[in-house]
Amino acid sequence: MNNKEIKVSIIVPVYKVEKYLHRSMDSLVNQTLDGVEIICINDGSPDNCLNILKEYQEKYPDKNIVIIDKKNEGVWKGRFDGIKKATGEYIGFTDSDDYIAKDYAEKLYNAAKQTDADISVCGFDRMDVDTSHVYSTEMTQFEGKVIDMETNPEDIMSINTALWNKLYKAEILKNMKNLDNPPRIFDDMMFLLLVYLNTRKITFIKDSLYYYMVRQDSIMATIKKEQVEDTQNAMIRIKSIYENDEFGKKLLPVIDAMTFLHFGISLMFRISADKTSNFKEELKKNKNYLDTNFSTWRKSKYLKISYCISHKANIKVAIMKKIYVMGLFRVFISVYNFIINKLKMDIKW
């Protein structure tokens, strides 16, 4: 390995992506920032991924490519293995079927250093994996914005919950809490919540530097019934971690509001895609789960239309809360399914 100073470590979980891995690795080895470390986690992939990674390691001996070859334990465990191995001042993540702009690491690193931010965030393009058609460009509207977690923690509700369009101070990730039983879904969102617990400043740049690939057959991914309880329990555990942390206690109203966003809206959308489920019964259970464990969501100022308008927040969430509490969610589902299935539009909340 090259002994030069490592500024950014990029962790890449790899599993059954041999079709896309060359494109992803090409974008990583061609970064303009000096001092990038690429940590590839081969998570027991049964295809040719490991050989492809070894080819890049041999071809680019000066690019600080680290390969961790391990049994399959899932992306959550793989990311923590990568964090433990990382030597960079900042750490980022990419998915191995996506790719990044050549100045991704440089611009995010410079933005973080210039503002002494714990996290820097860039925009991203949501693209069709086969045609490269750009469905949307997102997270580019916050140029120059800095979130002070001490004064305006609710602003994190406007940040996308993917891990990959961000850099994080390594010390935060290396000291973050972990979950004994991490969920298979909403894992990025819960990972971020654990990161936010030790975050004080977040900065943004306008550039779209990450290219997220969308497969038409997975625009609306379903969720298995047995996964719902595990996911709900993991979120309750996240809240308990916040309740036992002095700074975290201040963020509890935000946690309740974010839980409605992801469990009241996103989870129910995914459950609705399962034609075998009793949606009316699942919706009743969902409301009970929110009221029992995250009770401030109903009166949360962060979910009011007036607040979202005055603070330029995500008004779609406030509208959905109205629809949810008025009992019109099932009607809206029909409209939503038409939009994503017939018009091929992927609405993100």
- Whether the CB-CB separation of 72 and 101 falls below 8 Å is answered with no
Residues of the chain within CATH 3.90.550.10 domain(s) are: 8-218
Measured from the Cβ of residue 21, the count of other Cβ atoms closer than 10 Å reads 23
The answer for residues whose C-beta is within 8 angstroms of residue 189's C-beta and 6 or more apart is 161, 258, 262
Which pLDDT does position 342 carry in this prediction?
Answer: 55
Check residue 138 and report its DSSP letter: E
CA contacts within 13 A on the Cβ side of 144: 0
Q: Which residues contact 299 (CB under 8 A, 6 or more apart)?
A: none
One-letter amino acid of 306: S
Report how far residue 26's alpha carbon sits from residue 153's, in angstroms, rounded to the nearest whole number.
Answer: 37
Q: Which CATH class is domain 8-218?
A: alpha beta
**Cα–Cα distance, 63 to 12 (Å, whole number):** 14
Contact 86, 12 (CB under 8 A): no
Per-residue confidence (pLDDT) for residue 270, from 0 to 100: 84
pLDDT by residue, tens only, the chain of 349 residues: 454 799 999 999 999 999 999 999 999 999 999 999 999 999 999 999 999 999 999 999 999 999 999 999 999 999 999 999 999 999 999 999 999 999 999 999 999 999 999 999 999 999 999 899 998 999 999 988 999 999 999 999 999 999 999 999 999 999 999 999 999 899 999 999 999 999 999 999 999 999 999 876 554 456 777 789 999 999 999 999 999 999 999 999 999 999 999 999 989 888 887 778 888 899 999 999 999 999 999 999 999 999 999 888 888 899 999 999 998 888 887 776 666 565 555 555 5
Cβ of 291: how many Cβ atoms within 10 Å?
11
Nearest partner of 32 among 209, 211, 213, judged by Cα: 209
Nearest to 153 by CA among 115, 116, 195: 195
Q: Which two tokens stand for residue 18?
A: 């041999």
And the tokens for 244?
């036992």
